[in-house]
Chains A and B, each alone.
Chain A
Amino acid sequence: MTDTTSSTPFVEGRAEQRLNDAIARFNRWPAALRTVLVVASCVLGALLLLGIISAPLDLYSQCLFAGVCFLAVLVLRKIPGRLAILALVVLSLVASLRYMFWRLTSTLGFETWLDMFFGYGLVAAEFYALVVLIFGYVQTAWPLRRTPVWLKTEPEEWPTVDVFIPTYNEALSIVKLTIFAAQAMDWPKDKLRVHVLDDGRRDDFRDFCRKVGVNYIRRDNNFHAKAGNLNEALKVTDGEYIALFDADHVPTRSFLQVSLGWFLKDPKLAMLQTPHFFFSPDPFEKNLDTFRAVPNEGELFYGLVQDGNDLWNATFFCGSCAVIRREPLLEIGGVAIETVTEDAHTALKLNRLGYNTAYLAIPQAAGLATESLSRHINQRIRWARGMAQIFRTDNPLLGKGLKWGQRICYANAMLHFFYGLPRLVFLTAPLAYLIFGAEIFHASALMIVAYVLPHLVHSSLTNSRIQGRFRHSFWNEVYETVLAWYILPPVLVALVNPKAGGFNVTDKGGIIDKQFFDWKLARPYLVLLAVNLVGLGFGIHQLVWGDASTAVTVAINLTWTLYNLIITSAAVAVASEARQVRSEPRVSAKLPVSIICADGRVLDGTTQDFSQNGFGLMLSDGHSITRGERVQLVLSRNGQDSLFDARVVFSKGAQIGAQFEPLSLRQQSELVRLTFSRADTWAASWGAGQPDTPLAALREVGAIGIGGLFTLGRATLHELRLALSRTPTKPLDTLMDKP
């Protein structure tokens, strides 16, 4: 696919300009006339849609209809612009609703209790998937793509900003990056107040804050975790705006100037969120080696979903990398404390009071991703539990103050986390027929194909077009499969009793000193893998020796099982924890550096990566420096040089690794300003990934699945050998925190 139209800066196509003009003209008509026209066209459209989805067709007509629609999709997906996306969405809705209508009216004549159990289970899961699909279209079909508003006034007139950096158990070596970067933001110094909110009550933090000259706030309890921590700080500060950064999210120096403009333009704006960007790979990327090659789990949310939410004025607050106006926040009683996802709930409360929330898709801060799969899972468990809690206690579909678009966006965000059970159903559904012989689909095999195929193909092609830059096809299934089993119980518990369960923190910055296979964590995937393999065996048996009349049905179920096997083995691959050598966050970026050698030579070089402890450098002109030599690294900005003493700890040809000698606080601050808080580093790699091509994505997921099977085989052999040699195996520490 060569679609680059959605890359920033966004340029409107001609068709789109015409559409915008037409909408503008339409908006000038009298309000009453507009209402009548809108209602009339809605009714007309609804009737038309109803007609199309309920029209009974026989097998051949349905095939013909599906074929025509499919051809239309093939043409449409090549056309750039948002109009084509809307057309794709309509076609996808027609196919999926037709399928669901047919499914509900013609396939549910179950005969036995077993059929009924599996059959209704499957149909419920499908119905859930359809609702999420439709809500998702509403949410993402037309991302707002807000651009920043620049401050026009003089810096003396800019408002005061309190920067909150809540921390609980993160290491000072990580938090100090954030503190230095927060201090270095380009904002008048008398109007920028940095506060470290230490819930860990650590003295080294207090001393550090005193030395670098930022406020240190400590409370005598830990009630309501992060939300409580923030609320306490609200009481002792008085800046007009609050910028929030998790302890490991390092802001760029341009953060405030990029994000504050909208607040001055829109007086009802209460919160502006920017993306959470990660400079280290998350466990998926690390264990599957897909960092920056395949969009990660979070990219869909920050790349597309939030931008789509913004259209409906339903941007969520995500707890960090955001700016909040103090007044509205105090009006809703501070940060919400009722649930474990205080951030989303806070935004919901703001929206309910009629305040606006906004999203700016420019990464202006970056942080550490969770290191291990178990921590990653724990984090998602918390999100899922919190969202379920909000769904129960403050359901966005009910209550006052929200527009229907906002209701749908919030509802979808919460419904999304209910995928645990449906995902497990889809992963096991074909087994009901293959193993137990249950007739869960009361229809002929060919009819099923004629209805299901358009539904699946349309929805995946449409989503591939909408999400292509932020989520590749089939990866959603992989991500969900890994998490499904783990988020299912907490979501169910939270739905039944929202008060149960505590708050857990994801701590970051760990080392995995050797590669290992996380057997305990992989157990659910191994079970799924095993039952699907059994199903495969049953299926092949039936195909070869079974009744010829059911061959097609068996083949369909076999295909489905095969697909499930691919996804499940990819999930198994994720459980193989790759070694993580470096304990410090390291960022790949190319910055020009001069190197002053001990003998006075001045060499030029480019960084390959940097951390707060050293640089990886590539020297120009084929120079080299021997290991152990002391050098000085010179970084400059606007003609001002900053020098850092370092020692070469690695040297291979023109490639060297330099480690800093102990730096003074001033030097550390300067280093952060010249590296981590550069304005462009994160934005440059934003949305720059490979766009999706479904077939390539399938190949990729397939290859990862096969790799996963190999890893599993190796790990099994290893365990067997250990067992045979009778060495008492140490229980593997899975790093799993207490839930």
Chain B
Amino acid sequence: MSRADDISKLFNKLGANPSGYREIDFVHEFIEDEIEVLEAPAVTPAPPVIEAPSAPLLRLLEELSQGEADHLQPPEVVEGRDGQVYSEQSSPKVVVLVSVKGGVGRSTLAAAIASGLQRQGRPALALDLDPQNALRHHLCLGLDMPGVGATSLLNESWAALSERGFAGCRLVAFGGTDHEQQHSLNRWLGQDSEWLSKRLSGLRLSGQDTVIIDVPAGNSVYLSQALSVADAVLVVVQPDVASFSTLDQMDSLLAPHLKRAKPPQRFYVINQLDGAHRFSLDMAEVFKTRLGAALLGTVHRDPAFSEAQAYGRDPLDPTVNSIGSQDVHALCRTLLEHIDSDLP
């Protein structure tokens, strides 16, 4: 571990080796006033930013501390080891990113996890099961890629669909579909519950591969299909009250799939944490208390991501090394630890 730069600079100046220096962490309790008034606040006091815990948050905190509602117990992490294996040993791991509500950055995160895994030496394939067909933007691939939607309707194999994106990870896009095609797909998928499982095997992936599936927000046939093959479900939430209130809904969505013989592991990730705002941090604490060990990681809000998307750059570019990309890497590592522990 390198020394803080001021210590190494001082030692450098003295011509000595800084390894003899001990950095001693400062832990100290201060008795804070309501607001410590500094000597010269020359600017006129501005209306305070709303950072105090809002009423719903206070209520939540209260409920949590009392532990009165049993639904607030941390869900158990089910780690199935034995039982029916849905596929052979050489089949890939499947991770599904889900969220009840849209706009929580699910697709961005799916793409980032795919390229993050690839960067960590794990071949990854991102599968877009969202008719919005947006995942390709996040991995910077051509606009008119053929995708699973149209191909499946023609009952053709997906083998030719995958293309390489950032860091060499593969993407199978949803592809452009019109309303009628989507309607047909909906009907078909509603009837054939093994649709995805069969299609995936057509991709001829090995046990080394990891498939990251992005599905539409909320309940849909795509969600059910994806969950039926999932080894892990990653529930994406934002540190706000709206996301928090969807947790129960997500529980009921997942419930049938968790009952099957070899249920997928269920994890949560907090996306777009705003370290600059007290409320955001407080809310993250609430999630932590509620979710316990099921909370896999936290990703900070990072403008570098939207910027990267706008300019067609990889947000995980190591030369940028933004806080968001560090978070994604950490998330990928934890994710791998968990799904690998599932191996016999």
What is the interface of chain A, defined by CB distance below 8 A to chain B?
A: 8-9, 147-148, 150-152, 155, 171, 173, 183-184, 186-189, 210-213, 254, 257, 362, 583-584, 596, 600-602, 613, 630, 632, 637-638, 641, 643, 647, 649, 659-666, 668-669, 673, 678-681, 683-684
5 pairs from A and B in contact (CB 8 Å cutoff): A9-B15, A186-B23, A211-B33, A584-B40, A662-B37
B1-35 Cβ-contact flags toward A at 8 Å (1 or 0)? 00011110110011110001111101111111101
A660 vs B42: C-alpha distance in the bound complex, in angstroms? 10
Asked if B22 and A680 make an inter-chain contact with CB atoms under 8 angstroms apart, the answer reads no
Give the chain A neighbours of B55 by CB distance below 8 A: none
Q: Does B301 contact A (CB under 8 A)?
A: yes
Q: Are B26 and A647 in contact (CB under 8 A)?
A: no
CB distance from A639 to the nearest CB of B (A): 9
4 smallest CB-CB distances across A and B, nearest first, come from A9-B15, A150-B20, A680-B9, A665-B30
Q: Give chain B residues whose Cβ lies under 8 Å from the Cβ of A596.
A: 276
Check B43 against A649 for contact (C-beta < 8 Å): yes
**B24 partner residues in chain A, CB cutoff 8 A:** 155, 186-189
Complex CA–CA separation, A601 to B302 (angstroms): 9
Give the dominant DSSP class at B's interface. Answer: loop
A602 B37 Cβ-Cβ under 8 A: no
- B36 contacts A by Cβ under 8 Å: yes
Partner of B36, one of A183, A210, A663: A663
**Min CB distance, B25 to chain A, in Å?**
9
Contact A662 B41 (CB under 8 A): yes
Question: Is the Cβ of A669 less than 8 Å from the Cβ of B36?
Answer: no
Given the complex of chains A and B, what is the CA–CA distance between A362 and B16 in angstroms?
13
A8 CA to B16 CA, complexed, in Å: 11
The distance in angstroms between the C-alpha atoms of A669 and B275, with both chains bound, is 20
How far is A147 from B275 in the complex, measured between Cα atoms in Å? 43
**Given contact pairs A630-B46, A637-B4, A662-B37, A679 touches B31 in the complex (Cβ within 8 A):** no
B38 at the interface (CB under 8 A from A): yes
Total inter-chain residue pairs, C-beta < 8 Å: 124
Q: For B5, what are the chain A residues with a Cβ–Cβ distance below 8 Å?
A: 637, 680
Residues from chain B with Cβ under 8 Å of A155 in the complex: 22, 24
Smallest CB–CB gap between B307 and chain A, Å?
A: 9
Closest-by-CB residue of B relative to A155 is: B22
Taking a contact as CB atoms under 8 Å apart, the answer to whether A148 and B16 are in contact is yes
Contacts of B13 in A (CB 8 A): 8-9, 680, 683-684
Of the listed residues A601, A638, A659, the one surrounded by the most CB atoms of chain B closer than 10 A to its CB is A638
Looking at the assembled complex, report how far the CB atom of A269 sits from the nearest CB atom of chain B, in whole angstroms. Answer: 19
Q: Are A257 and B21 in contact (CB under 8 A)?
A: yes
Closest residue to A186 on the B side, CB-wise?
A: B24
CA distance A662 to B276 in the complex (A): 16
Pick from B6, B23, B30, B301: contact of A669, CB below 8 A.
B30
The reply to whether A669 and B21 contact each other, CB–CB distance below 8 Å, is no
| Chain A residues closer than 8 Å to B23, beta-carbon distance | 186, 638
B218-238 residues with Cβ-Cβ distance < 8 A to A are none
Q: How far is the CA of A662 from the CA of B40 in the complex (A)?
A: 9
How far does the alpha carbon of A537 sit from the alpha carbon of B324 in the complex, in Å? 78
Query: Which residues of chain B are within 8 angstroms of A212 by Cβ–Cβ distance?
Result: 28, 30-31
B86 CB → nearest A CB, Å: 41
B interface residues, how many (CB within 8 angstroms): 39
Closest CB of chain A to B29's CB: distance in Å?
6
- How far does the alpha carbon of A679 sit from the alpha carbon of B12 in the complex, in Å? 12
Q: How far is the CA of A188 from the CA of B28 in the complex (A)?
A: 12
Whether A150 pairs with B38 at a CB distance below 8 angstroms is no
| Contact yes or no, A663 B10, CB < 8 A | no
Residue from the set A8, A151, A660, A661 with the largest chain B CB neighbour count within 10 Å: A661
Chain A residues with Cβ below 8 Å from B256 are none
B80 interfacial contact with A, CB 8 Å:
no
Are B30 and A662 in contact, CB atoms less than 8 angstroms apart? no
Bound Cα distance A602, B300 (Å): 13
**Interface, chain B (partner A; CB < 8 A):** 4-7, 9-10, 13-16, 20-24, 26-33, 35-43, 46, 49, 275-276, 301, 303-304
CB closest residue in chain A, given B22: A155
Known: A257-B22, A362-B14, A679-B6. A173 touches B39 (CB 8 A): yes
Bound together, the chains give a CA A148 to CA B301 distance in angstroms of 45
CB contact under 8 A between A664 and B32, given known A254-B21, A600-B301: yes
Residues from chain A with a CB closer than 8 A to the CB of B4 are 637-638
User: Among the listed B30, B40, B275, which residue makes an inter-chain contact with A211, where contact means beta carbons less than 8 Å apart?
Assistant: B30
- Per the bound structure, the CA–CA distance linking A602 and B37 in Å amounts to 28
Chain B nearest CB, measured from A557 CB (Å): 49
B14-A665 in contact (CB<8A): no
* B9 in contact with A684 (CB, 8 Å): yes
In the assembled complex, the Cα of A560 lies from the Cα of B15 at a distance in Å of 46
The answer to whether B43 and A662 have CB atoms under 8 Å apart is no
Contacts of A602 in B (CB 8 A): 303-304
Beta-carbon contact of A210 and B31 below 8 Å: yes
Q: Are B276 and A632 in contact, CB atoms less than 8 angstroms apart?
A: yes
Q: How many whole Å from A9's CB to the nearest CB in chain B?
A: 3
**Does A681 contact B275, Cβ atoms closer than 8 Å?**
no
Q: Note all chain B residues with C-beta closer than 8 A to A649.
A: 42-43
- Complex alpha-carbon distance, A662 and B303, angstroms: 27
- B303–A641 touching, CB < 8 Å: no
In the complex, the answer to whether A678 meets B6 with C-beta atoms within 8 Å is yes
Given contacts A189-B27, A680-B6, 15 further A-B contacts (CB under 8 A): A8-B14, A147-B15, A150-B21, A151-B20, A212-B31, A637-B4, A638-B23, A643-B276, A662-B35, A662-B38, A668-B36, A669-B26, A683-B10, A683-B13, A683-B14
Return A667 CB to nearest CB of chain B, in Å: 9
Minimum distance in angstroms from A422 CB to a CB of chain B: 39
Tell whether, in the assembled complex, residue B43 and residue A254 are in contact, meaning their CB atoms are under 8 Å apart.
Answer: no
Decide: A666 and B22 in contact? CB cutoff 8 A.
no
Q: Choose among B7, B36, B275 the residue that contacts A254 (Cβ–Cβ < 8 A).
A: B7
The smallest C-beta distance from A640 to any residue of chain B, in angstroms, reads 10
- A600–B304 CA distance with the chains assembled, in angstroms: 10
- Which residue of A649, A669, A679 has the most chain B CB atoms within 10 A of its CB atom? A679
Least Cβ–Cβ distance between B279 and chain A, in angstroms: 14
Smallest CB separation, A282 vs chain B (Å): 23
Residues in A with CB closer than 8 Å to B31 are 210-213, 665
A669–B14 touching, CB < 8 Å: no
In the bound assembly, the distance between CA atoms of A664 and B38 in angstroms comes to 10
In the complex, chain A residues whose CB is within 8 Å of the CB of B276: 596, 632, 643
- Inter-chain contact A665/B36, CB cutoff 8 Å: yes
The residue in chain B whose Cβ has the minimal distance to the Cβ of A174 is B39
- Distance between Cα atoms of A184 and B30 in the complex (Å): 13
- In the bound assembly, the distance between CA atoms of A668 and B39 in angstroms comes to 13
Chain A residues positioned under 8 Å from B29 (CB to CB): 213
Nearest to B1 among chain A residues (CB) is A638
Question: What's the minimum C-beta distance from A29 to chain B, rounded to whole angstroms?
Answer: 33
Per the bound structure, the CA–CA distance linking A666 and B23 in Å amounts to 19
What A residues does B9 contact at CB under 8 A? 679-680, 684
Answer whether A150 and B30 are a contact pair too, CB < 8 Å, given A257-B21, A613-B40, A679-B7.
no
Separation of A584 and B41 alpha carbons in the complex (Å)? 13
A389 CB to nearest B CB, Å:
37
Is there contact, CB below 8 Å, between B28 and A213? yes
| Chain B residues within 8 Å of A173, by CB | 38-39
Alpha-carbon gap, A527 to B4, bound state (A): 56
B7: A residues at CB distance < 8 A: 254, 679-680
Nearest Cβ distance between residue B203 and chain A, in whole angstroms?
38
- How far is the CB of A602 from the nearest CB of chain B, in Å? 6
Looking at the assembled complex, report how far the CB atom of A687 sits from the nearest CB atom of chain B, in whole angstroms.
10
Chain A residues with CB under 8 A of B39: 171, 173, 584, 613
Residue of B nearest to A364 (CB): B10
A668 cross-chain contacts in B, Cβ below 8 A: 36
Shortest CB-to-CB span from A669 to chain B, Å, is: 7
Residue picked from B30, B37, B43, most chain A C-beta under 10 Å = B30
Evaluate contact between B40 and A680: CB separation under 8 angstroms. Answer: no
Kindly state the separation between the CA atoms of A212 and B26 in the bound complex, as whole angstroms.
13
In angstroms, Cα B20 to Cα A183, docked, is: 21
With a CB–CB cut-off of 8 A, which chain B residues contact A660? Answer: 38
- Docked-complex contact A663 and B38, CB < 8 angstroms: yes
Asked if B40 and A583 make an inter-chain contact with CB atoms under 8 angstroms apart, the answer reads yes
Q: Nearest residue in A to B31 (C-beta to C-beta)?
A: A211
